Structure 1
Amino acid sequence: MKAFGCLWNGETWATSGGKEKIDWSFAPFKANVQGFSIAGCQADGNINPKVCASATYSWNNKKYSSLSANDQKALNNVRAKYMNYDYCSDRKKYPVPAIECGWNQ
């Protein structure tokens, strides 16, 4: 297994309607990760996806289903300060929001 990320150029639409441009002079863009671990559930065409909702997986514990008031406030602060674009809020480009957008409520 490997984890990877990608950088795509959305500066014409994803950064305040194209107002903010990427400064390509900082390329190459690098990210380092340490102390990273991941837990997952294999869900392919041969496995019933409901298996991944099993209570045997720690991430399905009720304590992970919502944020505390302090954590929600911290998340809102980070979103307000750093998030330029949210496809879940872009009804012009996506009239029907993606299914994961329901988690933003």
Structure 2
Amino acid sequence: MSESGCRLGSLTWDALVKLYIETGEIEKADSILNKASQQLNMKPLQYDSLLQAYINAKVPIYGFRERLKADNMFPSKMLAERLAQVDAFKKTAVSDLLD
């Protein structure tokens, strides 16, 4: 839609990210989130949902903190706690590689 010239608001981007998260396509949701923040110079509402999807999948999320910094977003206390949960997955992934 955005490629055809339609202007999408933050609620539309938010709905698209939720749709991909609910279908289990985490990478696509991440891509949509990145595209929305780059094209429209806006801050989408779905950082928390995307992070929760990675927690549910028990998969490390690389570059998330950097994205927050690039978008001038400061994590809330709850978001910081969830980031700590995801960091534990990185340690597990590295130890699995070493075994």
TM-score by length of 2: 0.23
More helix, by proportion: 2
Q: Using CA pairs under 8 Å that are at least 6 residues apart, name the structure with larger relative contact order, 1 or 2.
A: 2
